[in-house]
């Protein structure tokens, strides 16, 4: 009887260990197959909806494409979207939910500079890597990566082009009072001292939601500048264009990157065209004028257009906001492939080793510099018959 009992217990212990072993394997496999959670915040509604909508489109298309190819080491990507309704405080509330409730391993977004700046303290505190797709200037922060060259390099490029290439001595500056416009203004006002003989003769600001810029343009006209630098987004820029024509202005206008969006072209493109406004903007806008074997066209633009059109149809075209989000997703995916583990800290460390080509130059953050692109890649262009064309100054 004693031997039977001992044999029974040995058998029972063996079965228990076997069950525990099988369950541990199943749990391990189950964990390995869990999706990788990424949080995204865009302005799908509100005044910046024209930015957030294409951002969401490219995210959906790229994630779908990545998952169709097996995801990241066999794990699918899962995106959790939040609409901040173009209000920065909403972005913080949404990000808190994604970080604490959804346990996302990384944050990507936003649509506006103000929202991007608002998320920095939260992501720093919670130690969550945040890839900012907006142009906001964010001083070096351990957990924050910014796509593209950023506003500082962009604004420096625009004043340099105005003076050196357009030959301006008397410069007028019109800008929004949002974070994007104010940073551009501060950089340009600071940089002008580097150009002997050039000066800012007029500095006028406006709210990006204003519907009348005539007072600002009247003062600008009276200052008799050689060039007007317009540093703002598309909607506000369209209002400036209408008032510019109403006042009979003929002064050369040099527009910033954020003006070159469909909204501006649809509303004020004809005015900009007939007045020969020049814009510094992303190469993707003139990609069809490039050689077919141009590396940018062949390696970046064409593959992205293919992914986007596969999901949304042949009529959709890659625009500037698709592009900024592409760089962010491509960067975070590459970091996940390189990371030792799929966790927040490992992904952050891997981001500093990524080096890929994107729409806004390289995506190559370093341990010393988290602004991904080290050189502003924007090119001068003009509108002709509703299309963007490369612009060459007349020497």
Q: Does CATH number 1.10.3720.10 belong to domain 152-282?
A: no
pLDDT at 342 over 90: yes
Q: What is the pLDDT of residues 52-69, one digit of tens each?
A: 999 999 999 999 999 999
Q: How far apart are CA 318 and CA 229, in angstroms?
A: 26
* Domain boundaries defined on the chain: 36-149+296-363, 152-282
The pair of three-digit structure tokens given for residue 90, joined into one six-digit string: 């909403």
Main-chain dihedrals φ then ψ at residue 363, nearest 5 degrees: -110, 95
pLDDT at 34 over 80: yes
Domain 152-282 in the same topology as domain 36-149+296-363: yes
Three-point CA angle 123, 125, 129, nearest 5°: 35
Q: Closest Cα to residue 339, out of 183, 134, 129, 173? A: 129
Quote the pLDDT of residue 98: 98
Class of domain 36-149+296-363: alpha beta
pLDDT at 4 over 70: no
Average pLDDT of span 78-85: 95
Q: Closest Cα to residue 86, out of 115, 125, 120? A: 115
Quote the pLDDT of residue 258: 87
pLDDT at 20 over 60: no
Quote the pLDDT of residue 353: 97
Q: What is the pLDDT of residues 96-145, one digit of tens each?
A: 999 999 999 999 999 988 899 999 999 999 999 999 987 677 899 999 99
Least confident residue range of 24-38, 132-146, 282-296, 337-351: 24-38
Quote the pLDDT of residue 28: 44
For 76, residues 6+ apart whose C-beta sits below 8 A from its C-beta are 35, 36, 67
Percent of the chain with pLDDT over 70: 91
The number of residues making up the chain comes to: 395
Quote the pLDDT of residue 14: 56
Q: Closest Cα to residue 158, out of 257, 224, 261? A: 257
Residue that the structure tokens 């890597």 belong to: 129
Radius of gyration of the chain (CA): 25
Reported in sequence order, the residue ranges of 179-296 that DSSP labels E, i.e. its strands, are: 199-206, 227-231, 252-255, 278-281
Q: What is the pLDDT of residues 242-287, one digit of tens each?
A: 999 999 999 999 999 889 988 899 999 999 999 999 999 989 899 9
Q: How far apart are CA 237 and CA 259, in angstroms?
A: 6
Quote the pLDDT of residue 29: 45
pLDDT averaged over every residue in the chain: 91
- What b/e string do you get for 38-59 counting C-beta neighbours within 10 Å, with b at 16 or more? bbbbbbbebbbbbbbebbbbbb
Quote the pLDDT of residue 50: 87
Quote the pLDDT of residue 30: 42
Global pTM value: 0.74
Residue that the structure tokens 């006028």 belong to: 204
pLDDT band at residue 12, thresholds of 50, 70 and 90? Answer: low
């Amino acid at each position: 009887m004693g031997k039977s009992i001992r044999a029974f217990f040995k058998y029972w212990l063996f079965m228990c260990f076997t069950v525990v072993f099988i369950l541990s394997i199943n749990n391990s496999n189950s964990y390995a197959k869990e999706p990788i959670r990424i949080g995204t915040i865009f302005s799908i509604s509100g005044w910046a909806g024209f930015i957030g909508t294409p951002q969401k489109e490219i995210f959906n298309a790229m994630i779908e494409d990545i998952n169709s190819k097996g995801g990241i080491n066999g794990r699918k990507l899962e995106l959790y979207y939040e609409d901040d309704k173009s209000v920065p405080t909403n972005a913080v509330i949404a990000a808190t939910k994604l970080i604490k409730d959804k346990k996302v391993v990384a944050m990507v977004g936003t649509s506006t500079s103000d929202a991007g700046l608002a998320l920095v303290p939260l992501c720093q505190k919670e130690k969550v890597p945040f890839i900012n797709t907006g142009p906001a200037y964010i001083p070096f922060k351990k957990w924050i990566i910014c796509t593209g060259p950023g506003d500082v390099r962009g604004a420096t490029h625009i004043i340099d082009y105005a003076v050196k290439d357009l030959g301006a001595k008397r410069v007028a500056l019109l800008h929004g009072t949002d974070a994007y416009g104010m940073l551009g203004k501060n950089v340009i006002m600071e940089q002008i001292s580097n150009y002997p003989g050039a000066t800012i003769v007029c500095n006028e600001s406006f709210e990006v939601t204003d519907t009348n810029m005539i007072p600002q343009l009247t003062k600008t006209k009276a200052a008799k500048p050689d060039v007007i630098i317009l540093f703002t987004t598309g909607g506000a820029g369209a209002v400036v264009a209408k008032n510019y024509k109403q006042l009979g202005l003929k002064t050369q206008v040099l527009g910033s990157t954020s003006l070159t969006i469909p909204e501006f072209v649809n509303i004020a493109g004809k005015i900009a065209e007939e007045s020969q406004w020049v814009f510094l903007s992303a190469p993707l806008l003139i990609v069809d004028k490039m050689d077919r074997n141009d590396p940018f066209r062949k390696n970046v633009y064409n593959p992205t257009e293919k992914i986007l059109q596969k999901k949304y149809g042949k009529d959709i075209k890659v625009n500037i906001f698709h592009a900024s989000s592409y760089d962010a997703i491509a960067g975070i995916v590459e970091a996940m492939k390189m990371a030792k583990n799929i966790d927040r800290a490992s992904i952050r460390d891997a981001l500093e080793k990524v080096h890929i080509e994107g729409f806004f130059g390289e995506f190559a953050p370093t341990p010393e510099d988290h602004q991904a692109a080290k050189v502003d890649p924007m090119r001068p262009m003009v509108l002709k018959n509703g299309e963007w064309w490369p612009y060459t100054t007349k020497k």
